[in-house]
Amino acid sequence: MRHAQFLARTVMVQNNNVEEACRLLNRVLGKEEIFDQFRRTRFYEKPFQVRRRVNFEKCKAIYNEDMNRKIQFVLRKNRTEPFPGCS
Amino acid sequence: MLIKTTLLTVLQHAKSLVRPPIALALPSKIHTSASLKKAEDRKEMLASLPAKDEGTTGEKSVDIDTLINRKAKFFPDADTASQLFNGIPFNELPICNIRVSPNNTIISVSDYKGVPRLIRSCGIEGFKNTRKGTNIAAQATAVTISAKAVELGWKTVRVKVQGLGPGRMSAIKGLQMGGLNIVSITDNTPVSWNPPRPRKQRSL
């Protein structure tokens, strides 16, 4: 399905600040992995390369999940206001 | 008997003394890893090169949550189409299409229906061969085309960008430097999740 022109993937420029708008657009597209997919489909990715990439991504996701859990565990707080003076 | 054994041991010792140079000389005679080494050197060289500019600054930054606190309206909604910019509704503003590739940048300006009026590329601008695919070439092209667009009376435009390349950011900046008022930036890069089979990989 085609998306509406000038509604999808669009950023409005505020106060003539073009660079900020560009950066925001790039950041959103990078986060949504649109640029990654674009770069990946420039050339044919052989099946062994797909397997290697997918396996690597799986390992990375597991590592990140575990590491986040550890960080949350170390940073846990047991007081009514967790970070006094920071709000 | 004793002398014989001692002689033998001495001989063996001498042999073992002689052997190492031969053993050292052997690997250089058999060429096994020369081609592999070449590939490794190439990889090292490519890794040490600076990353190629693709006009995607801010792609990897992570401060997206700061947007929530901001009052400014960054994204269009249903009312944006009829919103007035310089007396013209948003969906009747002329469109500036920028097509970026690693080797060239093509900029065209069309009216709101999509009929092209002006077209200019880095090649037309006078940059030839590898110089076409630089951010400076893209900026120069953008400046000249925006001057022509202003002559036509089109001062407020929407920008549509397609593709990745060094000209992506600098072309937009050049349009602004040339005197155009940019209202919005749209990304129109064709991305598919089930594309036809692309061409084979370049051998590096």
Cβ B189–A34 below 8 Å, yes or no?
yes
Question: At A43, is the pLDDT very low, low, confident or very high (cuts 50, 70, 90)?
Answer: very high
Q: How confident is the model at residue A10 (pLDDT cuts 50, 70, 90)?
A: very high
Please state, in angstroms and rounded to a whole number, the distance separating the CA atoms of residues A82 and B196.
53
Same domain membership, residue A58 and residue A31: no
Q: Does an H or E element contain A21, and which?
A: helix A18-31
Residues forming a β-bridge with B120 = B107
Inside any domain, residue A83: no
A81 occurs within a structural domain: no
- Whether A36 and A49 share a structural domain: no
Residue A10 lies in a domain: yes
Q: Are A27 and A61 in the same domain?
A: no
Express each pLDDT in B52-61 by its tens digit. Answer: 778 788 788 7
pLDDT of residue B157: 94
CB < 8 Å to B182, chain A = 13, 16, 18
Domain contains A65: yes
A33 plus A2 within the same structural domain: yes
Locate B18 and state its tokens. Answer: 């002689």
Q: Which of residues 2-61 of A touch B (CB under 8 A)?
A: 5-7, 9-14, 16, 18-19, 21-31, 34-35, 37-39, 41-46
Q: What is the dihedral of CA A54, A26, B204, B38, to 10 degrees?
A: -80
What are the backbone angles phi and psi of residue B39, rounded to the nearest 5°?
-60, -40
Structurally, chain A folds into a number of domains equal to 2
Residues A37, A66, single domain; the answer is no
B100-114 pLDDT, tens per residue? 999 999 999 999 998
Q: What percent of chain A has pLDDT over 70?
A: 98
The verdict on A39 and A51 lying in the same domain is no
Measure in Å the smallest separation between the Cα of A6 and chain B Cα atoms: 6
Q: Are residues A26 and A54 in the same domain?
A: no
Domain, as residue range, for A62: 44-76
pLDDT of residue B1: 46
Q: Considering the domain boundaries, does residue A17 fall inside one?
A: yes
In this structure, is residue A31 part of a structural domain? Answer: yes
Residues of A in contact with B53 (CB under 8 A): none
- Phi and psi, residue B124, nearest 5°: -65, -35
Residues A24 and A10 reside in one and the same domain: yes
In tens, the pLDDT along B119-146 reads 999 999 999 998 999 999 999 999 999 9
Query: Domain check: are A70 and A56 in the same one?
Result: yes
Q: What is the CA radius of gyration of chain A?
A: 20
The CA distances from residue A54 to A59, B179, B194, in Å, are 9, 47, 16
A26 plus A60 within the same structural domain: no
pLDDT for the residue numbered B53: 79
Q: Give the residue ranges of chain B where pLDDT is below 50.
A: 1, 18, 20-23
Nearest CA in chain B to A20: B58
A30 and A55 fall within a common domain = no
- Which domains are assigned to chain B? 80-187 (3.30.420.80)
Three-class SS of residue A59? helix
In a domain, A82, yes or no: no
**Residues A33, A56: one domain?**
no
